[in-house]
Structure 1
Amino acid sequence: MATPPKDLVLVGGGHAHALVLRQWGRAPMPGVRLTVIDPNPAAPYTGMLPGHIAGHYARDAMMIDLIRLARFAGARLILDRAVGLDLTGRRVLLAGQGAVGFDLASIDIGIGSGLPDVPGAGDHAVAAKPLGSYADRWAAFVARGLPRPRVVVIGGGTGGVELAMASAFRLRQAGCDPCMTVLEQAPSALPGVGRGARAALLSRMEALGVRLKTSVHVTGILPDRVVLTESEVASDFTLTVAGAQPQAWLSATGLITKNGFVTVGPTLQTSDPAVFAAGDCAHLSHAPRPKAGVFAVREAPFLVHNLRAALSGAQMKKYFPQRDYLKLISCGDRIAVADKAGLRLQGRLLWRWKDRIDRSFMAQFASL
């Protein structure tokens, strides 16, 4: 009797899993049946999101075609949302199609940036992550052509500042005179950014007319304004980029988690050796790092090697992320700021460098 195939199930189409699929298509593993589960037929490359919001890239330019990628990898693609894991029965539970059995599974489902505890956020604000309807709602808002649109970005980290500048640039290009405000709860914005890069980014924000309000606490969001503890800010479009929100079902899986994120060790295995996790949904217990796409990309070679090793009994490799990395932060116009070792570097050359990096990443999937 023939030996039945082993089932490897990738939950989510995040950056790490996209690279795993590409590598798997180049070197498939005999005797393994590969399945990918994602609610959407395409997954966004978040590195190009600010450029899309600014109008530099069409939406298709930043989307990874999961249908084509799955076909290249010889994988089955299930367009559904995972809502749980049955670790005892070795099943991934789905929102609409029952369950999918696995011998080995990996989770790469990203994060959210909504504010579930703020009244009105779900109804009157748009979350930057997951992409969801953000791109569509932003395009519709720009098309309204308001002469003085009021946009509020909640979250003064790198992501919030980058998207605020992208939004300001896009609206100015559309002939509008935007009133842009970034709200940050902490005493200062851009935590974790070096002194030189921070100064450059604050200068670019000022040049684009983006106001920054720090030490504020959002207590509610209404259709036309954001309510703070002691004041209000008028808003026609409210975007939430504050913090990183894990998907709620992860905490109910029985896997060990840290603040809702799945805990993994150096091999990217969770507390259940048959389940791996990568990208923003994972917490690196041995080397905690901020949520950033660069780590998902660099985890991918280790993830694909260790998945093969787990299926074949070979030795696994250990992933240790770098402590610091070069950040190229776009500033609305085709200008970028580099953050590395406290230096202050900015200009169009850096934007072209970032553009080349981003296009090269996407080219991996366009040529399949």
Structure 2
Amino acid sequence: MHRTAPPLRDLVLIGGGHAHALVLRMWGRKPVPGIRLRVINPGPTAPYSGMLPGMVAGHYTRDQLEIAMAPLARHAGAEVILGRAEGIDRTRHVIHVAGHGEVSYDLASLDIGITSDLPDMPGFADHAVPAKPLGAFAEAWEGFVARALGAQGVPRIAVIGAGVAGVELTLAAHHRLAQAGRVPEITLLDAAPDILRDVRAGARAALMDQVAARGVALRTGARIVRVAPGGVMLAGGEAIHADLVIGAAGTRPQGWLTETGLDLVKGFVSVDRFLRATNDPAIYAAGDCAHLSHAPRPKAGVYAVREAPILYHNLRAELTGGRRRPYQPQRDYLKLISMGGKRAAADRLPLRIEGAWVWRWKDRIDRGFMRQFHELP
């Protein structure tokens, strides 16, 4: 007499963000029998955000900041579906994937990141490059550098948004081009009257000194009316000429989430303390696309990394009938902020902590994180 094998259940990871990459690594070490694991990602790699400024500055190659999905999936016994998720039918339990059709699921998890585009700013979509998604930005930056190094004249860049991301990218871009003998003219714009409002006084002073030392033109209180082919137009008619306009002014959710019927907070998927969608037990979410309803936090990669073990445990528990664990995010975290060259500032205390040793510290952390995916068991 032949025994009938139990039907497979489908676990689908939507997006290759930091949390999902770590879940795949952990799953490979301890899979769940009878589960078909699939991961949907727009491309064959997923970038690590911590090394992006270093890549822009020329300290890392593009390959060094990319997590290759195929070997990670092989390690986990998972199937990779290359395509961009663009909808979820929660009634039928299917995910709509561009160029692929429908992917069925019993349990799904979202880790699709965010975007820093500015859809309400005229001309932005056609003439600017958002800093997120990271993969598209990295590709656009490499193309710009190649053109700038082969052209005559001074490279001109405008960066919209003077928070940590905008300042890091400004200093990194200046370093990369200056090292190649093409010192750029960079304008850093922000609508607020001051910059770096999300860091403490010590780190802010260190970063401000670097901005000034590089000759970056800082425009606070700037009201941008549109982005044009040759730069940025301000209220009053002033033009900021630029060959590249970078958007680093905000964090926006992926637009298609609004059509899912999931509970959203400002467009981000609302999850409970188990990282489960607050109105659908068959969907989890982590990383920047999730809103922690029990403990709201700013968008930062450190939370995605810390969520990963909890997400892995709870997905297993959901599939096996085990007990879920709650996730309680830390209230604060250490920021190591690169400053273009191989120097960085630390933001945790009001003290000014900076230097080459801080950059080496950050470099060890970043390389250590990526080593997990380059040296799979």
What TM-score bracket applies, with the shorter chain setting the length? over 0.9
Amino acid across the alignment from 2:229:
P
1:198 aligned residue (180, 194, 204): 204
User: Which runs of at least 4 in structure 1 moved beyond 6 Å after TM superposition?
Assistant: none
1:7 aligned residue (5, 10, 14): 10
Q: In structure 1, how many angstroms separate the alpha carbons of the residues matched to 2:176 and 2:267? A: 35
1:247 aligns with 2:254: yes
State the 1:67 CA deviation: 0.7
May I ask how many residue pairs the two structures share in their alignment? 368
The aligned residue for residue 33 of structure 1 is 36
The aligned residue for residue 223 of structure 1 is 229
State the 1:244 CA deviation: 0.4
State the 1:112 CA deviation: 0.5
The aligned residue for residue 266 of structure 2 is 259
Task: Show CA shifts across 1:27-49 (max 9, x none).
Answer: 11111110000110000001000
State the 1:273 CA deviation: 0.8
Give secondary structure in 2 for the equivalent of 1:238: strand
The aligned residue for residue 290 of structure 1 is 298
The aligned residue for residue 154 of structure 2 is 148
The aligned residue for residue 76 of structure 1 is 79
The aligned residue for residue 299 of structure 1 is 307
Q: In structure 2, how many angstroms separate the alpha carbons of the residues matched to 1:53 and 1:147? A: 21
Q: In structure 2, how many angstroms separate the alpha carbons of the residues matched to 1:149 and 1:65? A: 32
1:359 aligned residue (335, 358, 367): 367
The aligned residue for residue 348 of structure 1 is 356
Q: In structure 1, how many angstroms separate the alpha carbons of the residues matched to 2:144 and 2:92? A: 46
Amino acid across the alignment from 2:19:
A
Q: In structure 2, how many angstroms separate the alpha carbons of the residues matched to 1:108 and 1:60? A: 21
Q: In structure 1, how many angstroms separate the alpha carbons of the residues matched to 2:139 and 2:51? A: 15
Task: Show CA shifts across 1:59-102 (max 9, x none).
Answer: 00000000110111000110011111111111111112111111
The aligned residue for residue 189 of structure 1 is 195
The aligned residue for residue 317 of structure 2 is 309
Normalising by structure 2, we get a TM-score of 0.96
State the 1:209 CA deviation: 1.6
Amino acid across the alignment from 2:188:
V
Give secondary structure in 2 for the equivalent of 1:49: helix
Moved more, 58-67 or 206-215: 206-215
Amino acid across the alignment from 2:246:
L
CA contact (8 A) 1:44 1:62 kept: yes
Give secondary structure in 2 for the equivalent of 1:133: helix
Amino acid across the alignment from 1:36:
V
Amino acid across the alignment from 1:82:
A
The aligned residue for residue 243 of structure 2 is 236
Q: In structure 2, how many angstroms separate the alpha carbons of the residues matched to 1:77 and 1:142? A: 32
CA contact (8 A) 2:10 2:37 kept: yes
Q: In structure 1, how many angstroms separate the alpha carbons of the residues matched to 2:99 and 2:140? A: 26
Task: Show CA shifts across 1:190-230 (max 9, x none).
Answer: 12200111111101111122222111121100111201112
Q: Structure 2: any 5+ residue segments left out of the alignment?
A: none
Q: How does 1:69-218 map to 2 (within 5 A)?
A: 69-143=72-146, 144-145=148-149, 146-218=152-224
CA contact (8 A) 1:142 1:174 kept: no
Give secondary structure in 2 for the equivalent of 1:99: strand
CA contact (8 A) 1:53 1:166 kept: yes
Please, what is the CA RMSD of the aligned residues?
A: 1.0
Give the percent of matched residue pairs that are identical in Structure 1 and Structure 2: 57
State the 1:52 CA deviation: 0.3
Q: In structure 1, how many angstroms separate the alpha carbons of the residues matched to 2:194 and 2:22? A: 36
Amino acid across the alignment from 1:203:
D
Amino acid across the alignment from 2:322:
A
Give secondary structure in 2 for the equivalent of 1:335: strand
State the 1:133 CA deviation: 3.2
State the 1:303 CA deviation: 0.2
Give secondary structure in 1 for the equivalent of 2:134: coil
Moved more, 1-10 or 331-340: 1-10
